[in-house]
Amino acid sequence: MPLIFLLLMNLLVACQMNTEQENHQDQENPGVETLASKEAKEAKEELIKEVTLQNTEGETIGEAILTQMVNGVLITLDASNLPPGVHGFHIHEKGICEPPTFESAGGHFNPTNSKHGFDHPEGPHAGDLPNIIVRDDGTVKAEVFADMVTLETGKENSLLQESGTSLMIHSGADDYHSQPSGDAGDRIACGVITNK
């Protein structure tokens, strides 16, 4: 049998095995181990999403990197040209950012059908995030952890929905209890989290 065919057969067999059997297979055939672990690394790297944020004029003002962690999604925000002060920051339920109002993004991402706010007894929404603070020079760098969502597809709380989801910055602070969205004021920046 040609060598390439044998290698393909080994790969197919390895793919169908559970972890324990796979380990056994790996010891017998180090070549398969290398290929399999390469695939695992690539799969993890896919669980990172880059989100471009735009303001109400449609100009790009920064980005957010979403990284799948063990118990949630780390959101690393880096933006500029924003009004200084405290601003509400949320994940909204639709992946459509149409300036200037960004109403197209819908309400907060809320797969658990909860109430808004960390301080609400029936809250929070999965898409509720801590307020961010913009510096006097209009820049913000923040790391926010969203522990109720995932980047793994096919789950109810996945941010990679068919219709996408979005990140939103508001003009004012989220008070963490007012319905439906924390009385955080206008939507001033939006970024689509695509499922692609």
Contact footprint for Zn ion (CB under 5 A): 108, 116, 125, 128
The residue among 76, 112, 88, 104 whose CA lies nearest residue 163 is: 104
Place of tokens 């925000």: 77
Q: Is the Cβ of residue 64 or residue 168 nearer to Cu ion in the bound state?
A: 168
**Minimum gap (Å) between residue 20 Cβ and Zn ion:** 43
The residue among 125, 49, 47, 137 whose CA lies nearest residue 88 is: 125
Per-residue string for binding with Cu ion, 86-105, x by CB under 5 A? Answer: ----x---------------
The residue among 61, 174, 156 whose CA lies nearest residue 109 is: 156
Query: Which is it for the CA torsion 66, 69, 72, 76, positive or negative?
Result: negative
Among 168, 173, 189, 192, binds Cu ion (CB under 5 A): 168
Is residue 125 within the footprint of Cu ion (CB under 5 A)?
no
Which single residue brings its beta carbon nearest to Cu ion?
90
Residue type, 80: S
Task: Give which of Cu ion, Zn ion, none residue 49 binds (C-beta under 5 to 8 Å, depending on kind).
Answer: none
Query: What tokens were used for 75?
Result: 């959101």
Task: Give which of Zn ion, Cu ion, none residue 125 binds (C-beta under 5 to 8 Å, depending on kind).
Answer: Zn ion
Q: Is the Cβ of residue 14 or residue 169 nearer to Zn ion in the bound state?
A: 169
Task: Give which of Zn ion, Cu ion, none residue 168 binds (C-beta under 5 to 8 Å, depending on kind).
Answer: Cu ion
**Minimum gap (Å) between residue 4 Cβ and Zn ion:** 54
Which residues lie closer than 8 Å to 181 by C-beta, 6 or more apart?
A: 88, 90, 107, 108, 116, 174
DSSP H helices in the chain: 3-16, 19-28, 30-45
The residues of the shown chain that bind Cu ion, judged by CB under 5 A, are 90, 168
